[in-house]
Amino acid sequence: MKPPGILRVLRPAVASFVAIALAYLLIPNLVIVPLSFSAQEYLTFPPAGFSTKWYARLAANPDWINAAANSLVIGVPTALLSMVLGTLAALAVVRGSLRWAGLAASMVVAPMMLPHVILAIGLYPVMLELGLLRSHAAAIIAHTVVGFPLAFITVMASLRGSDGKLELAAMTLGATPWQAFWKVTFPAIRPGVAVGGILAFASSFDELMLALFLTGATTRTLPRLLWEQMSDFLTPVIAAAATLIVAFSMVLLLLAVLLERKPARPREVA
């Protein structure tokens, strides 16, 4: 009776390995939050004392406020543009009759996979010639290139889950293609579009490389400011900023999860 003996050891071993690996995933979040409430100048862990002075210093520094505003001014249009382009591309690939639909799909997804630094040094001269360098528009365009594949993927998944014949039925009954889209197709894929928009926003909100090349002193984003501050000095101010950014991202994640869960309810069949 050898195998059951091995299993008795193996099963708890796998379980504890997985538990440790999952704990490892949580470490960075568990380090930053306590650090941001430290009373000391220097980064020590465990932090000594409790203080909210780093948050006060953060709020008093216009650089952080500006960077946060820039991140929103760049992130929101990126999300909207990504939703439009992602939905158009997904409709063409899933509902269309393109012979090279597979190629088109991998072309759309490609910017997500390629190292951002290649795109960054390529877009720099293009934006320079267009007179857009260091403007918000440059960052919005660049972030949309890497963000709209995310919307494309989520909308494509929604479209595959909904029946294309319904649009045809609506048009047979006299609806224009425009009406058929807004009354039939869009309600079915709305969660996919929304989640895609949130993902595109989140990717823009976290993007560093393109921002390093394409934004300037007045248009720099939060990741870029974090990056610049980090190379200069390490204080708990960065931890305070990081904690707020993480909290904001968690709200976004929650929103995405809630949106994705909704459509599952009416159709109980798995």
Partner 1 sequence: MRRTAPGEDKAGWQLSRRYNWLLIAPAFFLLVFFLWPLMRVVVRSFVDPAPGLANYQAILASPVYLRVLYNTVETAAVVTLLCLLIGYPIAYVMARAQGVKLRIVAALVVIPLWTSVVIRSYAWMVVFQRRGVLNEGIGTVMALFGESHTPIQFLPGALAVHVGMVHIMLPFMILPLVASMRNIDRRLMRAAGVLGADPIQSFLRVFLPLSLPGVSAGSALVFMMSLGFYVTPALLGGPRHMMSAVLIEQQANQLLNWGLASALATLLLLVTLAIYAVHARISGVGLAGAGGRA
> Which residues within the stretch 202-261 sit at the binding site for partner 1 (CB under 8 A)?
202-203, 205-206, 208-209, 212-213, 223, 226-227, 230, 234, 238-239, 242, 245-246, 249-250, 252-253, 256-257, 260
137 binds partner 1 (CB under 8 A): no
Peptide bond into 28 cis (omega under 30): no
Q: Does 14 bind partner 1 (CB under 8 A)?
A: yes
- According to CB under 8 A, which one of 39, 56, 110, 264 is a site residue for partner 1? 110
User: Which of 76, 171, 175, 188 is the binder for partner 1 (CB under 8 A)?
Assistant: 171
- Cβ proximity to partner 1: between 79 and 242 the closer is 242
For the record, the structure tokens of 55 come out as 């948050």
Find the angle CA(135)-CA(138)-CA(139) to the nearest 5 degrees: 95
Gap between the Cα atoms of 162 and 186, Å rounded:
10
Q: Tell me if 170 contacts partner 1 by CB under 8 A.
A: no
How near is the Cβ of 262 to partner 1 at its closest, in Å? 14
Residue 256 near residue 199, CB atoms below 8 Å: yes
CA distance 84 to 135: 22
d(CA 95, CA 5): 55
By CB under 8 A, is residue 150 in contact with partner 1? Answer: yes
Binders of partner 1 in range 23-52 (CB under 8 A): 24-29, 31-32, 35, 42-46
Does 128 engage in binding with partner 1 (CB under 8 A)? Answer: no
Among residues 9, 21, 173, 269, the one that binds partner 1 under rule CB under 8 A: 21
Q: Is 81 exposed, middle or buried (0-12, 13-18, 19+ CB in 10 A)?
A: buried
Dihedral over alpha carbons 164, 167, 169, 171 (to 10 degrees)? -150
Near partner 1 by CB under 8 A: residue from 39, 65, 114, 128: 114
**Radius of gyration of the CA atoms of the chain, in A:** 23
**At closest approach, how far in Å is the CB of 247 from partner 1?**
10
Q: How far is the CB of 216 from partner 1 (least distance, A)?
A: 13
Stretch that binds partner 1, among 52-60, 72-80, 102-110, 186-194 (CB under 8 A): 102-110
| Residue 40 vs 218, nearer CB to partner 1 | 40
CA-wise closest residue to 37 among 19, 26, 52, 22: 52
Among 68, 74, 79, 93, interactor with partner 1 by CB under 8 A: 93
Under the criterion CB under 8 A, does residue 72 sit at the interface with partner 1? no
Cα gap 168→201, rounded to integer Å: 33
Q: Rounded to an integer, what distance in angstroms lies between the CA atom of residue 190 and that of residue 113?
A: 26
Stretch that binds partner 1, among 55-63, 186-194, 201-209, 261-269 (CB under 8 A): 201-209
Provide CB contacts within 8 A for 33, sequence distance 6+. 239, 243, 246
145 lines the binding site for partner 1 (CB under 8 A): yes
